[in-house]
Structure 1
Amino acid sequence: MYIYGASGHGRVIIDLIESYEKIHGIFDDNPEKKEILGYPVLGPIPKNYVFKSSLFIAIGDNATRKRLALELSSRVRFANIIHDSAIFSKRAFLGSGCVVMEGAIIKVNCTLGDQVIINTGASVDHDCLIGDYVHIAPQATLCGGITVGEGSLIGANAIILPGVKIGKWCTIGAGSIVHQDIPDGHKWIGNKLILDPAPLIIVK
């Protein structure tokens, strides 16, 4: 597997896979990144680079991950990573380029889109629909029947109550309790909607 990203999320991914997966190369656009966890960083991906294996985009920022996935989708297959300690229902569905980290739970009839991060100990209950480029942070809890739109971030230890619909490119603050639907591009902090919406990010 190749890895794109040599910062914090890259270290997490290397630590997850190196015991069972050969790492063919690690790329990063930052010229100051020379090494990560003992592996050399090869720099940016050359335009005509021929991949010998799948690639994982190890970048936590949702908009950046989307941009890179769209740029590279015609050149390489994206890997999925599910940690052995995670519980992933045989009746759940997974896109490409996703990671489900230690202790996470994905229940029956859930659908994860492409390039989704389900972080450590997060719980996604039955019949949830998670859009592309979403990040569910550590220990977040999504009850049943929730929809999370493209690019949204669910903060650590947030709780989303059953049936709530979260729009695209929303931000849910850490520790929040969400009890109502949230429009595209908005923020929710604590137990209330922030009326001044965050800019809606559209990446073509």
Structure 2
Amino acid sequence: MDADKPTRIVDGTSDEIVASVRRLACERGYASLTVRDVLKDLHITNRVFYNRFANIDEVLDVVYRDIAGKVRESLCALYDGEGDFFEHVRHVAERTLHLSYTAKQNFNQFVFEADSVGEENFAWWDREIRALIAQGKRLGVVRADLDEAQSSYAIWCFIRGFNADALGRGIPEDEALARFRYGFDLMLSGMRA
């Protein structure tokens, strides 16, 4: 543990603070969320909050890491050989969009901003996308000359950019999914062997 950092209490109250921040961020957005909002919501004191967290951003980071972890868990499925490879890839990408909508539009902007500065998150996605491309090459369904690094980055940008735009403009999930399928299918068609 870092000697400069004070020891924080981790208990049920910490969990309640995190749950409150998640709910309040979903309801009102994270940008204007303050410690005072959490204190009022939970009827707790400054001391109770600050014994557990340094500031509201620290709590938002806990919420973000939880959401990112759940998204990763649900998307870690390599192609099992059943059905069409490209249908599998599209389904994995569509789940990303669906989970974004499930996490709520207002809070999702924080997730996107946290992702933008999170090199560890990009590295995880890059590794997973490259693994899927490599698997497609081994199966002979993805072009052998496809540059995995360049393709992975393009897919990452497409999915993140599409999500950010659709959520930011408030496009209903079913309409966003239809538009996503169309654009993503165009991208996937260029990858076919």
TM range (shorter): under 0.3
Higher helix share goes to which structure?
2
TM-score, scaled to structure 1: 0.25
Q: Which has the higher contact order (CA 8 A, sep 6+)?
A: 2
TM-score, scaled to structure 2: 0.26
Higher strand share goes to which structure?
1
Structure number with greater Rg is: 2
